Amino acid sequence: MKKHLFTYAMLAVSSTASAQQLSRSVTATTGSGVVLNKTIIQYTVGEVVVATLQNSSVLLTQGFQQPEVAGNNAIPDPILVTGFIVFPNPANSQTKLEFDLLEDTQVNIQLVNNAGQTLKNIAINMLAGKVRYPLPLTGFAPGLYYVVVKAGNKNYSEKLVIQ
C-alpha cells in the first residue's frame, strides 16, 4: 500500500511541475549576424561595458551574445605517416628515413638545426606504402638536428645526431 501511495504522490507532483526556459536575447542599439562558410558571425553594438574573460581554451563575454555550441567541432587532420624512424643515428655522411605513408601525397623532408633554422628542404610527391629515403649529410657540422617530415597538415619529427 505504501508503495502505491508513494507512486501516486510522485505522479501528482511531476504532472504539476514545470521547468524554466531561457530564450537567448540581448538588449542593444543594433546588431546583426551572418553565416559564412559554415561559420556563424554575430555582433551587437550598444553594450557599453562588456567584460571578457579568456584562457587557452575558453573565451567568455558578458551577456547572451555567446555561441550556442561550445567546444571545437573541427574534424582532425588524418594521420598520413606512421612508423617514422631515422637510422643510423648518430650518422656521419648519410642517414635513411623510413616510414609508412598511408595516402599518395606531397611530402616535405626538412633538416632543422637546434636553433630552428631549416637547412635543407626537399619536396617530393610520394605514393602510399613503405618509404625508404636516403638523406645525405655532407657539409653539415657535427651536432644535434631534427629531421621533419611534413605530410598533409601534420609534422612528424625525429632527433638526429651528426658526428
> pTM of the entire structure?
0.56
Kindly tell me the burial class for residue 149, based on how many C-beta atoms sit within 10 Å of its own C-beta (0-12, 13-18, 19 or more): buried
Whose cell is 624512424? That residue is: 85
**What are the angstrom distances between the C-alpha of 82 and each of 2, 18, 64, 98?**
65, 55, 45, 9
Instruction: Please report the pLDDT score of residue 157 as a whole number.
Output: 94
Please name each of the domains of the chain with its CATH number: 26-74 (no CATH), 81-162 (2.60.40.3080)
Instruction: Please report the pLDDT score of residue 34 as a whole number.
Output: 77
Instruction: Please report the pLDDT score of residue 50 as a whole number.
Output: 58
Torsion of CA 87, 89, 92, 97, to 10 degrees: 30
Among residues 150, 125, 120, which one has the least CA distance to residue 135? 120
Instruction: Please report the pLDDT score of residue 36 as a whole number.
Output: 77
**Residue 113 phi/psi, 5° resolution?**
-80, 180
Consecutive 10-residue runs of the chain (163 residues): their mean pLDDT? 70 62 63 75 62 69 57 77 95 95 95 93 96 95 96 93 95
Give the SS3 label for residue 7: helix
